Amino acid sequence: MANFLYFAVNKIHAIELNKLFNEKGIASEYVISSEQHIATGVDLSNEANRERIRKFKNNEIDVLINVNILTEGTDLPDVQTVFLTRPTISSILMTQMIGRALRGKKTGGTEKAYIVSFIDGWKNKIAWVNPEKLYIEETATWDENNKENIGKLARLISIQKIEEFVKIIDESIDTTKLESIDFIKTIPIGIYTFSLMIPSEHDEDRIKNCEVLVYDSTQEAYQKFIDELPVFFEVNQLNEIEFFTEEQLDVLAEKVEEAYFTGFEMIPDYNKQDIKDILSYFALKGIEPSFLQFKDREKFDISNVAQFIYENELGGKRKKEYLDELWEKEENFLKVYFGYNKLYFRKYLDNEVLKLEEPDIYYMSSKESTVIPEMIHINKLTLHEIQNINPQYWRQLTDAVYERSKDENGFYTCSISGFKAKSRLYFQVDHIIPMAKGGLTELENLQVLRRDINKLKSDK
């Protein structure tokens, strides 16, 4: 009989399961965190657990039932089947439980693993996650020179990008802007990866694994945001807070958007939920999330493949043979990146070939999508109104005001107090002559003020 590992809810559950197995003639034992000798009251769990685990490893017993003992740090390479007889909404705990069977042949494990769940209503009570993603996160050391880890990072990114691939092949969704940019810019330059604990008043605390894709278009914004997290928390008086409510996160995310993301054309765009997750992580940990740089992304640039097809006039059977050979090539990172889905790969590639064959289509599309807003009387609007109707102009105007207030050492200066700082987070842009007295929203009538001074000024 193969070795079977069971995860039980609690001590009583483990003992009852063990009793049932023994009654059926199955060699079974259990390991728990606390087991006292009946006569002396001495805790025997460590000694008993070690002996039972030894028997399990030596195939002296077939079934080992445990409660929170074997989730991590225990080497059980012969385990091929894991039985989940306890619910969890923690993806970290799920990772640890499933991981007991995911050793693989290279590390002394089995070729295949079986995960069996006994949970009713599993959609709401168990943290099912992509098992390949769990394997990637647990085994990659992220050595930039390691080909295997380059492939794992590509696959991790691919898992996050599947939604984008699906949109490209869905003709009902307008992906013109995404398709029109250079393909290399649709490949992330890296990924922020971290885990969050989501507290619950009634149920088990939930662990959320986060992956934030960063592109050329969003790199600068994310970098500034991450670099200034300590200042952002200081300015907004958040340093004593560990967990945010959803309402607080909505307000804070809007502040982050205004400071770093609004007014820039970002294709692909950022995700507001990613901003919330980063804020939550910094509140809990006080450190910036880890960033994995995708240094070999040029290997995935299929515009080079499209260029070869176009220049060599490959079509029909010759084109198919070339692409089949490329797709099946050993150590093919493209297959990994496109989630082993050839349709996604072909759709993207056909679009890149079309760019070379019909460049005017993309130039025309780009021109048609460029909307020049009406600028007449825009200086009679508030900065907030301008930000809503024309975020690009708002960004251009406020940037100019800040640049005018910057000294030779890169410090911004409050026009009233003379206070200096290198972060814009300490300041706000305001009118010199108030709009109520006829002042206009234009560069000559705008100044940089420290936030508290601007608040006092507004109160008056």
Span 422-438, pLDDT tens digits? 999 999 999 999 999 99
9 pLDDT more than 70: yes
- Confidence band of 266 (pLDDT split at 50, 70, 90): very high
Share of the chain above pLDDT 70, in %: 76
pLDDT greater at residue 65 or residue 330: 65
- Confidence band of 405 (pLDDT split at 50, 70, 90): very high
Share of the chain above pLDDT 90, in %: 42
Distance CA 339, CA 360 (A): 31
Write the secondary structure of the chain as one string of H (helix), E (strand) and C (coil).
Answer: CCCEEEECCCHHHHHHHHHHHHHCCCCEEEECCCCECCCCCCECHHHHHHHHHHHHHCCCCCEEEECCCCCCCCCCCCCCEEEECCCECCHHHHHHHHHCCCCCHHHCCCCCCEEEECCCCHHHHECCCCHHHHHHHHHCCCCCCCHHHHHHHHHHHHHHHHHHHHHHHCCCCCCHHHHHCCHHHHCCCEEEEEEEEECCCCCCCEEEEEEEEECHHHHHHHHHHHHCHHHHHHHCCCCCCCCCCHHHHHHHHHHHHHHHHCCCCCCCCCCHHHHHHHHHHHHHHCCCCEEEECCCHHHHCCHHHHHHHHHCCCCHHHHHHHHHHHHCCCCCHHHHHCCCCHHHHHHHHHHHHHHHHCHHHHHHHHHHHCCCCCCCCHHHCCHHHHHHHCHHHHHHHHHHHHHHHECCCCCEECCCCCCEECCHHHEEEEECCCHHHCCCCCHHHEEEEEHHHHHHHHHC
- Which of 49, 60, 143, 137 lies closest to 98 in space, CA to CA? 137
318 pLDDT more than 90: yes
| CB distance 128 to 94 below 8 Å | yes
Rounded to the nearest integer, the mean pLDDT of the chain is: 81
Region of 43 (left: φ > 0; alpha: ψ -120 to 50; beta: rest) is: beta
155 pLDDT more than 90: no
Q: Which domains does the chain have, with CATH numbers?
A: 4-129 (3.40.50.300), 188-293 (no CATH), 300-369 (no CATH), 378-459 (1.10.30)
25 pLDDT more than 70: yes
Span 220-243, pLDDT tens digits? 999 999 999 999 999 999 988 888
364 pLDDT more than 70: no
Span 42-60, pLDDT tens digits? 444 677 788 888 888 888 8
